[in-house]
Structure formats: C-alpha cells, structure tokens
Amino acid sequence: MTVIVTGGAGFIGSNFVYHMLSAHPDYRIVCVDCLTYAGNMSTLAEAMKNPNFAFYKTDICDRDGIYEIFEKEHPQVVVNFAAESHVDRSIENPDVFLRTNIMGTAVLMDACRKYGIDRYHQVSTDEVYGDLPLDRPDLFFTEQTPIHTSSPYSSSKAAADLLVLAYHRTYGLPVTISRCSNNYGPYHFPEKLIPLMIANCLNDKPLPVYGKGENVRDWLYVADHCKAIDLILQKGKVGEVYNVGGHNEMTNIDIVKLICKELGKPESLITYVADRKGHDMRYAIDPTKIHTELGWLPETKFADGIKMTIKWYLDNKDWWQTILSGEYKDYYARMYGDRK
Ligand code: NAD
Ligand code: DAU
C-alpha cells in the first residue's frame, strides 16, 4: 500500500506521517510538500531515516510534477493536508489560498482520475460551517449544517470541499472528507494561538489576545485527529463527510491564562489587541456520526494534552526558535507591530 500525504512537512501532516509509519509499518508513505514558510524539513528528520518513507519537494498546483510522482509511486491512497492554513494570513492576502487550497486540490484529484486511486481523502475544517452564537450552547455543527464561511481561508476550504464532492458525483472518484475542529500538539507553527502564546510566554513577551478573548474554539489533540483520518481511510464510506471533534470548548482567554499558569508566568503579559476582521465567535463539532458509524472517540483529555504540548515546546526549543528567527519576524511585525 502506497499512501501519498501532501503537506506532510506541516503541523498535522507531519503528525499523520509519524502515525502512519508506526501504525502501518508495511505501508509506503510518500510525502509531497513544496515547503512554504509553514513546511519544515527538520520536522521530518526522523521520518527521512525510515526506508518506508519518501519525500518530494513539489507544489500540489504543479500538474506535471504531481503526474510524475503518480507515475513513479502508483499510490492507492492520497490524503491531502497541503494548504495555506492561517486565517490571519488569508485576510492579509487571499490569493495564494485560492491557488493552493482550490486549484491544488483539483490538480491532485485530476491525477487520481488519470492514474486511478482507491481513495482520495480531503482534510477539511469545521470553519466551512461558519460560526455559532455564544448564547446558544445547545447548537453544534453536524455534517448537515449548511456551508457558510467567514474568511478567505474558510471560503477556499469550502470551495475545495464542493469540488471534492463534485468529482465524486461527476467522475465517481472515491472520496471522503473530514472536517475537524482546532488541533494542538507538537510541531504546531507558532503563528497559531497555542504555540504563539507558549513561545511568547517563554520569551516574556506580550500575549496578544484578539478582541475580548471571548471567542470559543473546540480543541482536539493532533494525534486524535490523525487516528480519525486513518479510521476513515480504513472504514469510512466513499462520498461521505465526517466531522471530527471532541466536545472540548474553551474561550481564548481561558487558554491563554492556563498557559501562563502552567509556565509560571504572570497574567500581566496578556495584552488585548484589535480584533480579527470577521472573527468567528464559536466553533463546536457534533462528532456523533464518526463515533456511531466508525467507533472513533478522542483519547487525550485537554488537561493532559496541553501539558504534553507545553512539555514538547520546552523540550524542542531549537525547533521553534529557528522559526522565530526567520521570516516570522517580519510576519510578527506586520501582524502585531502597531495593532491596538
Ligand atoms: P500547516 O500550515 O502547518 O501546514 C501546511 C503544509 O502544507 C506545509 O508543510 C506547507 O509547506 C504545505 N503546503 C502549502 N502549500 C502547498 C502547496 N501548494 N503544495 C505543496 N505543499 C504545500 O497546516 P496544518 O495546520 O497542519 O493544516 C493541515 C490541513 O488541515 C489543512 O488543510 C487545514 O486546512 C486542515 N485543518 C487544520 C486544522 C488546525 O487546527 N490546524 C484543523 C482542521 C483542519
Ligand atoms: O477550526 C479549525 C481551524 O483552526 C483550522 O481550519 C485552521 O487552519 C487553524 O488555523 C485554526 O483556525 P483558528 O483561526 O481558530 O486558529 P488560530 O490559532 O489562528 O486562532 C485561535 C483563536 O485565537 C481565534 O479565535 C483567534 C485567537 N487568536 C489567535 C492568535 C494567533 C488571538 O486571540 N491571538 C492571536 O495572536
């Protein structure tokens, strides 16, 4: 069995590569990643030593390059993680989000049609459902919730989902889609809330909380997401969408205070800054379908997962400090420099 994992040098993709290499030692795992600012070869250093692993530095929008990989590797399964994934960057410049997230998805599926495939899996997001109001804790996203996006990022992911379902209906491509809530864990790029707050705390820098910090996210430990995708590949029904989430809703401000507490840093580091444009209020996944049909349940409680994550950042300072010393500096100055 050969599985192509696109975006495998990023946060969730790399965790998935390591999950697959250990859960399926008889599989060949082929990572395709063009190494944008978010892709990192040091993350894949251990995988590169495994004879069952191969890496191609290729853009998923490069049709010839992708077709060449299919001709060489003859994959049975493609799991597409490759994407521009940060909402704030999409607000700054939507263009590359449309290119990678929509056109790249089409190129991958065209390759699957041309060379044949047992399964194309699209890694999507709960953000395609838009947001829920804070005063209706009884509401959750189900697979039937209408698509209703807020940002250029979520709109590009929703467009990709529609294309995936269209390729299934029109060409009979054997697809599945997972829509997961916010992940956290090792190798999370420090532009996102949890790793940014850990890194800033450790550097005694201000902790920039958008708006009032009341927005709610539904956090899932990344290993649980990887197991859910593996299960969908094994047992999921072709043409279906599966929501993935663990009923772990928290406000941003509670997360930031918890990180301060765990690291023994004062809450006076917290700085309220201008809100994100179009900021989604609340995400909350109803995971009933993947639980009842496939038997998936999250295994890591947030209280444990956040401790493991903080420990990982303490034990792997080189990994994130190298990132902080590069292009990230310009990004941080642009995004937070005079944000009032
Ligand atoms: P990430 O930004 O950490 O990693 C993205 C990876 O894709 C990087 O390695 C990057 O180099 C690669 N990439 C980007 N453009 C590419 C291109 N044109 N060709 C080849 N490779 C390219 O992202 P992540 O947080 O790991 O998210 C992975 C996927 O999961 C995305 O599709 C995202 O929408 C989805 N998702 C993320 C979360 C989350 O909480 N992070 C939750 C649900 C769904
Ligand atoms: O829900 C799944 C989505 O989760 C994925 O599809 C996205 O790829 C992923 O980036 C994530 O999107 P969010 O926008 O929810 O994640 P982010 O870490 O950027 O922000 C989480 C919350 O924290 C959000 O309400 C904005 C807030 N925030 C974020 C940053 C970076 C702050 O208050 N301050 C910050 O500096």
- Specify if 206 maps to a domain: no
Cα Rg for the chain, rounded, in angstroms?
Answer: 19
Q: What is the pLDDT along the chain (340 residues), one digit of tens a residue?
A: 999 999 999 999 999 999 999 999 999 999 999 999 999 999 999 999 999 999 999 999 999 999 999 999 999 999 999 999 999 999 999 999 999 999 999 999 999 999 999 999 999 999 999 999 999 999 999 999 999 999 999 999 999 999 999 999 999 999 999 999 999 999 999 999 999 999 999 999 999 999 999 999 999 999 999 999 999 999 999 999 999 998 999 999 999 999 999 999 999 999 999 999 999 999 999 999 999 999 999 999 999 999 999 999 999 999 999 999 989 999 999 999 988 7
* Pairing mode, strands 216-218 and 249-251: antiparallel
CATH number at residue 65: 3.40.50.720
pLDDT digits (tens, 9 = 90+) for 111-162: 999 999 999 999 999 999 999 999 999 999 999 999 999 999 999 999 999 9
Quick one: how many helices (H) and strands (E) in the chain? 14, 13
- Specify if 172 maps to a domain: yes
- Specify if 265 maps to a domain: no
| Closest ligand 2 atom to Cα of 210 | 33
Phi, psi of 212 (to 5 degrees): -100, 0
pLDDT digits (tens, 9 = 90+) for 196-241: 999 999 999 999 999 999 999 999 999 999 999 999 999 999 999 9
- Tell me what pLDDT residue 340 has: 78
* Top mutation candidate among 30, 31, 81, 181 for ligand 1, by most atoms within 8 Å of CB: 81
Q: Which domain holds residue 117?
A: 2-189+220-248+284-300+328-335
Q: CB under 6 Å to ligand 2: residues?
A: 85-87, 125-127, 181-182, 192-193, 196, 208-210, 215, 217, 252, 276, 283
Q: Considering the entire predicted model, what is its pTM?
A: 0.98
Q: How far apart are CA 6 and CA 70, in angstroms?
A: 13
**Residues paired with 120 in a beta bridge:** 78, 175
Ligand 1 within 6 A of 15 CB? no
Q: What is the total count of domains within the chain?
A: 1
Of 283, 4, 242, 246, residue with least CA distance to 124: 242
For the CA of 124, the nearest ligand: 1
- Specify if 266 maps to a domain: no
